[in-house]
Amino acid sequence: MSTARDDILSRIRGALEDIPSAERSEHVAIPRRYNEQESIPHPELVDRFIARVREYKAQVRRVTQDSLAASIASACTARSVRRLLVPADLPPGWAPVAIELVVDRALTYEQLEACDGILTACTLGIAQTGTIVLDSGSGQGRRAATLLPDYHLCVIYDDQIVGLVPEAVARLNDVAHRPDRPITWISGPSATSDIELNRVEGVHGPRTLEVLVVETVRTATSTDG
């Protein structure tokens, strides 16, 4: 009696019948005609990124560099954060006052989970999917630290936002070959769906994601006609 497995394997063998035994996958070029870079103006990319992040039920605010420290403090106050986990290389001026900072210097998983939230930077954002990417770089902390606390406050500068997933992958190519730099892709707060498609939050990471998009000052360039 045929099983689903036997049926699938039989179809695969049938599809491979006319392929020479010496041929390998690298011998055949695969056309990749998908778009690798978005052509719309960058401000529109930023707007799209913010809209997509909000679709994931994450909180997003636009802030300026001058208001960043105050925005971080107000976000923590609104969440009643008393013990804030931060990476050892947190950028200067980010640390909110009147909140206990817990610097991650090889803390145990229990110590990480006991914190009310974590504050990090990121490496880039993807407008197409509303995804934030961390590559364990400067100001981002280690992977475990961003998965165990219940609240993640992430800062991204608008010039870190790219349009499409292939563009993000290309930028991450060098880091992807480093075993000491795990890459984390975050598309909204932790959530999944059961077999009946009921959304369940808080399964494998922070249940609350808040994103501060910092406006960067762009210098206009001109050319002589």
Percent of the chain with pLDDT over 70: 91
Residue-range domains of the chain with CATH: 39-215 (3.40.50.10420)
CA–CA separation, 41 and 161 (whole Å):
12
More confident position, 223 or 167: 167
Res 223: pLDDT: 41
Question: Helices in the chain by DSSP H: which ranges?
Answer: 4-15, 42-55, 68-78, 109-113, 143-147, 165-171, 173-176
Long-range Cβ contact pairs of 87-95 (< 8 A, separation 24 or more) = 87/120, 87/139, 87/140, 87/141, 87/142, 87/145, 89/138, 89/139, 90/119, 90/139, 91/121, 91/138, 91/139, 93/68, 93/69, 94/68, 94/69, 94/119, 94/155
Overall pTM > 0.85: no
Res 202: pLDDT: 62
pLDDT tens digits, 103-115: 999 899 999 999 9
pLDDT tens digits, 48-84: 999 999 998 899 999 999 999 999 999 999 999 999 9
CA–CA separation, 18 and 121 (whole Å):
52
**pLDDT (average), residues 152-164:** 96
Mean residue pLDDT of the chain comes to: 88
pLDDT-derived band of residue 119, with 50, 70 and 90 as boundaries?
very high
Residue 32 pLDDT greater than 90, yes or no = no
pLDDT-derived band of residue 201, with 50, 70 and 90 as boundaries?
low
Residue 3 pLDDT greater than 50, yes or no = yes
Res 222: pLDDT: 40
Q: Whose structure tokens read 């932790």?
A: 190
